[in-house]
Structure 1
Amino acid sequence: MGATAGAVWGRSEQQDFRSRVRGTMLGAAVGDALGAPVNGMSLAQIREAYGAEGLVDLAQAYGRRGAVTHLTQLTLFSVDGLIRAQVRRDTGAWHPPTDLHRAYLRWAATQRDWGPDERRKEDGWLAREEWLYARRDASRSLLIGLGDDMMGTLDAPKNPGEAGPEAAVRSAPFGLLVGWEPQLVAQLAIECAAQTHGHPVGYLTAGAYAVLVHALACGESMDAAIQRTLALLASRPGHEPIAQALQQALGAVRQGRPAPERVGELMAGAQGEGVLAAAVYCALVGEDVRHGLCLSANHDGPSAATAALTGGLLGAMHGETALPPAWLAELEGRPTILELSDDFAMEMTQGPALHGPGGSSPGWLARYPR
């Protein structure tokens, strides 16, 4: 795997990229927070609890409004792993899936430990954020997949029967590698997804989502992003369910006024491909970001995952300023998300000035140890 190195970024390009990085990360997190209170509820139960229109605002989950689930926690560790991979590249060690696996093991430690161990400097700053040491209903497949040091690979994946959407949700940051070719973005997301979701639908959905985010972050339209994704999937064994689901999402756009029932139809069995199709549909038909996110949370399927996927797409497409400010104001962990997003944007645009043969910033290496 490789990336375009030494690219020259103009100031306006850097600002646009940072806005899309922030938009993707905040959008996914606020979608997660919106869906968390109704995750696992049926549409009828949601309407009974919140009225005929369903959930239209942040609500209480885990004891507060704006709380995120394990989906956002893992997405943050994806970013951490990607930055660490770039920093470690100076040493000649260049295998991003390994760096991502180490990052996910640091997340797994947050689910076991009471709080950060300040003595472990090699963990970097993100693993010392106390608010991340909260157990937010991580699935058994995640805890098993990351329950030991053995890394799942495409040849020997962890949980070979797991086809759910969780690996796709944490794959949004891979799409922000805008200097990479799309096929390399897909490959990295797929390899990292196999560490916990070993069914082809599980890991190919992650690759498809990463390519969608990549195209949007590069300024392409949603329609163009979908066509690019379909073309890249075509050579992958087992891609047919994901390709069919994306085609169904496009077809649903032409079937009249957006409705939760249509979202539910696309969801099918709430496996990865159906949840991705529902998210794509909501991103396409939403009158604005808020409407698209609400549509993605009100249905019979996994609301947090669907809304997180939708938020990541809308944030990559429109940037941070399109997101509902009142929701961002209540979002759990927002300072951390912003700090990590800006670090990622700085690493990807100005990495050689932070570390390399000519010298390294001690502060940067303390944040992201090799």
Structure 2
Amino acid sequence: MSIESDTSTPSLKSRIRGCLLGGALGDALGYAVEFDSIDQVRSRYGRNGLTGLDLLTAPSHFSDDTQMTLYTVDGLVEALEWANSGVGADVNACLWLAYLRWFATQGETAPPSAPVPQTRWIDAQEVLHQRRHPGKACISGLATGEMGTSARPVNPDSKGCGTVMRSAPFGLIPHITPDAVYKLSADAASLTHGHPSARQSAGTFSLLIHRLVSGEGLREAAAGALAQAVGLDGVAPELPERLEAALRMAGKGVVTPEELVQALGEGWVAEEALAVGLYAVLATLPEAAPPEPARHFRDAVVLAVNHSGDSDSTGSIAGNILGAYYGEVCLPPEWLAALEGQDVIRGMADQLVKVTTGED
């Protein structure tokens, strides 16, 4: 038995809640330092950087990463609601409509060529109506009024991390095949980002979450996700290269923020963000004793956000991974106490639970 398998098996409901809340916590911690260099972070928070939401003097906010993740959940929930009622629905069309509704919360107006979506529960949640530095490609892709596809994506050259940071929910749907998880995620990435690495990184991240929810350990799931990425048809070489570097560096343990950025990048593009988040999770996983979930969460997210780069996205990815693996037990109570919009996040998590399992 591996050390990491000693933790008790969480329920699907706990994994879904843990993944969405964990991502929001990582996002909120990283958003506070997203545009700061590591020298600026150290000057504000000390040698160890920003180590907790309690250190923030201003209210902690999550970014567009959490907003779009929740709208991904809503698009999936709508498609599953149609399916449960016996009506087939185009899943990617449901996701596009969900993202168009998010687009409206950012103060943007879609062109006349775009459909007008019907409002849903999520659209009335004011905490999601804040403009928190949305990704340029997400905005410009939706502004075209065209529903991108893998065969004909919008923003064909964009490989920003705006695909990866919103893609954990695809891995949370039970009872579907890995191929279906990957296709749903990659197709949805094509709605805003057209570069192969953006789509493939999103799909690989969703498969990683799917493996964890299916019961695999962290190292096992990471190795499996890398193997699947290597085997993709027409894979963008930078994706397996970054993932291989992340797993290799995780074997060294915790490195400095400067070393992290030099080896894996700053996280502004898709494969770098995934690599940094995954590295942070694996590098802080104890070797000689069973992990204490909340401590592992704190250590990993702190490592994921303290660098010169896209700290909210790398933090949210690390939080998604650990929440999906441990469930809610890993979420630090003092961090949760400072997190905005918990009722909205839990509400969307519970909608996904109900539509997939029938459980309230």
Q: What TM-score, normalized by structure 1, do the two folds share? A: 0.85
Q: Which deviates the most, 101-110 or 137-146?
A: 137-146
What does residue 172 of structure 1 align with? 168
Query: Match of 2:155?
Result: 159
Matching residue of 2:4 = none
Q: Which of 244, 251, 254 is the aligned partner of 1:254?
A: 251
Q: Please tell me whether residue 211 in structure 1 is matched to residue 211 in structure 2.
A: no
Matched, 1:312 2:320: yes
**For residues 55 and 274 of structure 2, what CA distance do their matches in structure 1 show?**
25
Q: Give aligned-pair identity as a percent.
A: 35
Q: Is the 8 A contact 1:55 1:294 kept in 2?
A: yes
1:280-327 Cα distance to aligned partner (Å, 9 max, x none)? 110112251101100101001100000000000011111111111111
Q: Tell me, yes or no, if the aligned pair for 1:30 and 1:327 is still in contact at 8 Å.
A: yes
Work out the CA distance in 1 between the residues paired with 2:358 and 2:34.
39
Counterpart of 2:100 in structure 1 is: 105
Give the alignment of 1:320-331 within 5 angstroms.
Answer: 320-331=328-339
Q: Is the 8 A contact 1:266 1:275 kept in 2?
A: no
In structure 2, what is the equivalent of residue 265 of structure 1?
262
Report if the CA contact (8 A) 1:66-1:327 is conserved. Answer: no
How many residue pairs end up in the alignment? 334
Superposed displacement of residue 261, structure 1: 2.9
Whole-angstrom CA distance in 1 between matches of 2:249 and 2:33: 24
Work out whether 1:235 is the aligned partner of 2:235: no
Residue of structure 2 equivalent to 1:280: 278
Return the alpha-carbon distance in structure 2 between the equivalents of residues 172 and 257 of structure 1: 25
Do 2:54 and 2:334's aligned partners in 1 also have CA atoms closer than 8 Å? no
The CA distance in 2 between the partners of 1:121 and 1:213, in whole Å, is 29
Q: Any conservation in 2 of the 1:110–1:134 contact (CA below 8 Å)? A: yes
Q: Contact conserved, 1:283 with 1:314, CA < 8 A, in 2?
A: yes
Out of 291, 308, 312, the position equivalent to 2:299 is: 291
Offset of residue 348 of structure 1: 0.7
CA distance in 1, matches of 2:155, 2:138: 9
Structure-1 separation of matches of 2:260 and 2:214: 27
- Cα–Cα, structure 1 residues 259 and 168, in superposed 2: closer, same or farther, change >3 Å? same
Counterpart check, 1:342 vs 2:350? yes
- Any idea what the Cα deviations from partners look like across 1:22-61, whole Å, max 9, x if unmatched? 0100010000000011002111111111111111112688
Distance, in Å, in 1 between the alignment partners of 2:254 and 2:20 is: 29
- The 8 Å contact of residues 252 and 262 in structure 1, kept in 2 or not, is answered as no
Residue 129 of structure 1 pairs with residue 129 of structure 2: no
- 1:163 and 1:199 in contact (8 A); partners too: yes
The CA distance in 2 between the partners of 1:128 and 1:347, in whole Å, is 20
**Counterparts of 1:296 and 1:184, CA distance in 2:** 29
**Aligned AA (2:261):** G
Measured in 2, the distance between the counterparts of 1:347 and 1:165 equals: 28
Give the gaps of 5 or more residues in structure 2: 1-7, 110-115, 286-295
Partner amino acid, structure 2, of 1:286:
T
- Offset of 1:217 from its aligned partner? 1.2
C-alpha contact (below 8 Å) 1:186/1:207 kept by paired residues: yes
Match of 1:367 in 2: none
- CA–CA separation in structure 2 for the residues paired with 1:29 and 1:44: 25
Distance 1:80 1:298 in 2: 31
Provide the secondary structure at the position in 2 that maps to 1:166. Answer: coil
Amino acid at match of 1:67: H
> Which residue identity does 1:46 align to in structure 2?
V
> Aligned equivalents of 1:25 and 1:266: distance in 2?
28
* Distance of 1:113 and 1:144 partners within structure 2: 10
Q: Report the CA distance between 1:337 and its aligned residue.
A: 0.3
1:79 equivalent to 2:102? Answer: no
| AA of the residue aligned to 2:40 | Q
* CA–CA separation in structure 1 for the residues paired with 2:86 and 2:32: 44
Three-state SS of the structure 1 residue aligned to 2:104 is helix
Q: Distance in 1 between matches of 2:103 and 2:226?
A: 33
1: CA distance between counterparts of 2:274 and 2:108?
A: 32
Q: 1:37, 1:59 within 8 Å by CA — same for their partners in 2?
A: no
SS at match of 1:252: helix
Q: Is the 8 A contact 1:43 1:299 kept in 2?
A: yes
Alpha-carbon displacement from aligned partner over 1:143-163 (angstroms, at most 9, x marks no partner): 111114311111111111111
What one-letter code is carried by the residue in structure 2 that aligns with 1:44? D
Superposed counterparts of 1:171-210, under 5 Å: 171-210=167-206
* TM-score normalised by length of structure 2: 0.87
